[in-house]
Each structure stands twice: as structure tokens, then as C-alpha cells.
């Protein structure tokens, strides 16, 4: 048994890496659906079906707890999965929760009425599907009032990252930041609402300016997972070795993963 980490491709490796460093004694099983990436341009039913298939594969590996390290899946599929699909004894958690906790400075279990928070102008960079879902704005509205969120769909960035084209990815990030700043000239905070985007965090920060706080999910998710496993240790599992699965070409995916993380990662066919 291990803790499952699901992503549409390589982006979730940022979450895996942070979780593995925070919880070095926990075994992880990573599933990248590289054959169908990116998810951000797919419709909700397609995203739901692909996500369910990946999560079932992780259950087959003994992962009773699965982290959806994919904002698109978390936004477009998780609520439906939790309401209609996930059986007793299994848990599937998304990546929005830790981000909103950090932004609003309140714990997820805090069900008090929404209140004003320090940050008033927030830029959200995400895939087109995540932006279209408005899931981030909906969850934020339950907890905070008076926050203006300007969302920028970042078409092409995930494709460029998945193919290893850093020059194109940097150019696209700069273009998307410029487009958002035409609508919100002075954001106070920026949310990188896709787990691929931390790989381009330096470019986002430079384009936004040093005075903008850039929230990246990986470390926040890792801390949240550590807290969850402290409360629910039965989901840690008894595994000792991490495993990496892909629906894509294992050799190609392993090469790109090693390039991103700067240490060797070997994927197997899912």
C-alpha cells in the first residue's frame, strides 16, 4: 500500500516531490495520464471519466488515499466523484483546499460565516477548464468576502511543459501575465492554479513583479497531507518503495520527469 498521487501528466510531480520530502517514510504511487494530457482543454465528462480510470488504477495498487495533484481534475471532477462514485473506505482529496486555507488564513473545517481577509486583489492562473469551472471562486466565496479574483486561462503552457519546451513555456507565461495585468494592473497575490506551473514559478514571479505574493501549491499540499495522515494514519499504508506509472511512453516520460526534478525518475507502463 502507498499514498496515490494522480495527475494528467508531469505537473503533479511537483506535488509528489514536496510530499516525498515532507514525508520521507511514506511510500507513494504516482500515476500520470500522459497519453491524454492536457486535461485543461477537455470537457467535464471527459475529465471525470479519465480521472476515475486513473484513480481506480491507483486503488489497484493498494492506494486507499489518492491526492488529485491536478487542478483541472479537482475543479471539474472531484465534487462529482465524492458525491456519486467513491466507495466506502476510499478517500480522494483535491489540491484547492490547502491553497484556500493559506489565502484566507482559516482552516477548512472552520464553518463560520465568510469574513474579510487581508488580500483583496487576486490573480488566478489556471487551465481553461479550471477557469471555466469557477471552482476556485466558489470555494473562496464560502470563506472570504470582498476578494476580487481575476482569472487568466493559460492555454498552451501545459503542452509546452509536457514536451520540454521551456522557451515556449516562458514566452506563454509572460504573455498570459501581460493579458491579466491589462484587466488587473495591481494584483496583491497570484495563485498558480495548475501543478505544472511551479516549474515556471520564477518566470511568473518576474513577470508579475517582486511585490506580488505568488502562491504555489506543492508545499501547501505536502503540509496538509502530513496533517491529514497524522489524524488518519490508517491511510499511510505499509509500502516502503515509491512507484511511477504512466499511460504514455515510459522512456520519454521518465526522461522529461528527470529533467524537471533534476534527479532520476523511472516510469512504468500503467
Tell whether 31 is in a known binding site.
no
What region does 23 belong to: left with phi over 0, alpha with psi -120 to 50, or beta? beta
Return d(Cα 141, Cα 210) in angstroms, integer: 27
Q: Does 8 carry a binding-site annotation?
A: yes
Query: Is 154 part of the annotated catalytic residue set?
Result: no
Q: How many other CB atoms sit within 10 Å of the CB of residue 23?
A: 16
- Is 197 within 8 Å of 7 (Cβ atoms)? no
Length reported for the chain: 270
Q: Is 40 annotated as a binding residue?
A: yes
Q: For residues 33, 36, 38 and 43, what is the CA-based torsion angle, rounded to 10 degrees?
A: -120
Q: Report whether 71 belongs to an annotated binding site.
A: yes
Beta bridge partners of 65: 91
The pairing of strands 213-215 and 3-7 is unpaired
Three-class SS of residue 65? strand
Q: Which of 19, 63, 70, 154 is catalytic?
A: 70
Catalytic residue among 29, 63, 154, 194: 194
CA of residue 245 relative to chain centroid, distance = 18
Does 7 belong to an annotated binding site? yes
Interatomic CA distance for residues 77 and 84, integer angstroms: 11
Catalytic residue list contains 70: yes
Tell whether residue 195 is among the known ligand binding residues: yes
Output the known binding site.
7-8, 39-40, 71-72, 195-196
So which residues are the catalytic ones? 70, 194
Output the known binding site for substrate.
7-8, 39-40, 71-72, 195-196
Amino acid at each position: 500500500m502507498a499514498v496515490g498521487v494522480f495527475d494528467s501528466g508531469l505537473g503533479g510531480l511537483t506535488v509528489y516531490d514536496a510530499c516525498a520530502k515532507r514525508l520521507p517514510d511514506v511510500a507513494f504511487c504516482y500515476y500520470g495520464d500522459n497519453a491524454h494530457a492536457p486535461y485543461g482543454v477537455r470537457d467535464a465528462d471527459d475529465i471525470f471519466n479519465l480521472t476515475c480510470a486513473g484513480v481506480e488504477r491507483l486503488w489497484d495498487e493498494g492506494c486507499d488515499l489518492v491526492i488529485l495533484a491536478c487542478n483541472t481534475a479537482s475543479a471539474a471532477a472531484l465534487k462529482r466523484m465524492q458525491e456519486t462514485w467513491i466507495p466506502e473506505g476510499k478517500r480522494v482529496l483535491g489540491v484547492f483546499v490547502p491553497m484556500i486555507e493559506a489565502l484566507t488564513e482559516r482552516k477548512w473545517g472552520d464553518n463560520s460565516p465568510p469574513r474579510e481577509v487581508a488580500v483583496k486583489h487576486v490573480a488566478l492562473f489556471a487551465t481553461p477548464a479550471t477557469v471555466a469551472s469557477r471552482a476556485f471562486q466558489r470555494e473562496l466565496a464560502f470563506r472570504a468576502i470582498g476578494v476580487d479574483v481575476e482569472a487568466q486561462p493559460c492555454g498552451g503552457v501545459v503542452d509546452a511543459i509536457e514536451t520540454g519546451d521551456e522557451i515556449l513555456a516562458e514566452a506563454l507565461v509572460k504573455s498570459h501575465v501581460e493579458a491579466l495585468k491589462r484587466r488587473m494592473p495591481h494584483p496583491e497575490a497570484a495563485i498558480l492554479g495548475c501543478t505544472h506551473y511551479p516549474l515556471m514559478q520564477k518566470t511568473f514571479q518576474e513577470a508579475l513583479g517582486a511585490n506580488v505574493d505568488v502562491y504555489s501549491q506543492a508545499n501547501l499540499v505536502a503540509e496538509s497531507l502530513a496533517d491529514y495522515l497524522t489524524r488518519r494514519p490508517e491511510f499511510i499504508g505499509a509500502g516502503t518503495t515509491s512507484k511511477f506509472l504512466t499511460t504514455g511512453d515510459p522512456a520519454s516520460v521518465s526522461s522529461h520527469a528527470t529533467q524537471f526534478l533534476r534527479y532520476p525518475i523511472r516510469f512504468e507502463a500503467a
